[in-house]
A and B are shown apart, each in its own frame.
Chain A
Amino acid sequence: MELIQQAYEFLMTAAVVVLAVMIILSIIRSILGPGISDRIIAVNMIGTMVIMVTAIFSVWLNENYLVDVCLIYAMISFLGVVVLCKVYTGVYLQRKHMKADLGAIEDNLSKQGVEIREEEEVKP
């Protein structure tokens, strides 16, 4: 009976160590990732692996409340991803509309015959 307990502990230790290494690799990707969506994907995967580690600890330490922590963590991770996506979509659209408004002002000025002579003045 003691041998099987040691086998279970070895299995869980190995799983937690492997997941920790994978979390470090995901953190590296979330720092390196060129776009904002790459970073969000990496952070989402870190959340998944943290949930796995918490579930493994709940069985290993025989603590029942860690399963509830797991469930709440899943909900907050999902909420965080949704909010980040909404925020960055809003930032992108705001910047795009600002640029479109500047272009509209230039078109309007050129229709009225106003010349913008900034480029000519720059050249000596």
Chain B
Amino acid sequence: MIGEWFRFLIAAACMVLGLVFMISAVFGVNRFRHALNRMHAAALGDTLGILFVILSLIVMKGFSMDSLKLSIVILFFWIASPVSGHMISRLEAMTDERLGEISVLEKNNGIRVIMEDRDSKIQDLDEEWKKGGNGR
């Protein structure tokens, strides 16, 4: 009986840790402003989030054929997620023509102010797109 509760505690800890990773990944994707930063946050959920959630399921299930398949899911994700991340980053680096212009932080009366706003750039790109130029 105590062993069962011990197993439940391990599974709950892994599940909560994985959910914390997924929550931080989603909030990072929603709060960062550039696509490459968003990809950094999304990779956290793709690797550690799915590792801990499925690890907790393996602990619940015990050692069987299903837990072996679940570990194959983790293995496939760890192989496939960096490849898709590389593809997305290559797409972003190719299509974003203003990638080199990093938004500069400058001191203004002791307060750091973000000089260039990303949204105004994106509005400019949208206007270029409507004119028929090669924006995004």
Chain B proximity mask over A9-35: 1 for CB below 8 Å, otherwise 0: 001000100110010011011000011
Are A49's CB and B22's CB within 8 A? Answer: yes
Are B30's CB and A55's CB within 8 A? Answer: no
Chain B, Cβ-Cβ closest to A39? B35
Max count, chain B CB within 10 A of own CB: residue among A48, A82, A93 = A48
Chain B, Cβ-Cβ closest to A22? B26
Q: Which of B60-100 contact A (CB under 8 A)?
A: 60-61, 65-66, 69-70, 72-73, 76-77, 80, 83-84, 87-88, 90-92, 94-96
Q: B8's contact among A8, A71, A75, A93, by CB below 8 Å, is which? A: A8
Q: Which residues of A contact B134 (CB under 8 A)?
A: 92, 95-96, 99
Q: Which residues of B contact A36 (CB under 8 A)?
A: 91, 95, 136
**Which of the four size classes fits the interface of chain A?**
35 or more
Q: Which of A77-119 contact B (CB under 8 A)?
A: 78, 81-82, 85-86, 88-89, 92-93, 95-96, 99
Alpha-carbon distance between A38 and B28 when the two chains are bound, in angstroms: 12
Are B50's CB and A52's CB within 8 A? Answer: yes
Are A34's CB and B122's CB within 8 A? Answer: yes
Are B95's CB and A88's CB within 8 A? Answer: yes
Chain A proximity mask over B20-56: 1 for CB below 8 Å, otherwise 0: 0011011001100001001100100110011001100
Question: Interface majority SS on A: helix, strand, loop or mixed?
Answer: helix
Interface residues of B, CB < 8 Å — how many? Answer: 51
A-B contacts, 10 of them at CB < 8 A, read A35-B92, A37-B39, A37-B96, A48-B49, A48-B50, A52-B22, A55-B54, A56-B57, A59-B61, A88-B91
Q: Which residues of B contact A (CB under 8 A)?
A: 4-5, 8, 11-12, 15, 18-19, 22-23, 25-26, 29-30, 35, 38-39, 42, 45-46, 49-50, 53-54, 57, 60-61, 65-66, 69-70, 72-73, 76-77, 80, 83-84, 87-88, 90-92, 94-96, 119, 122, 133-134, 136
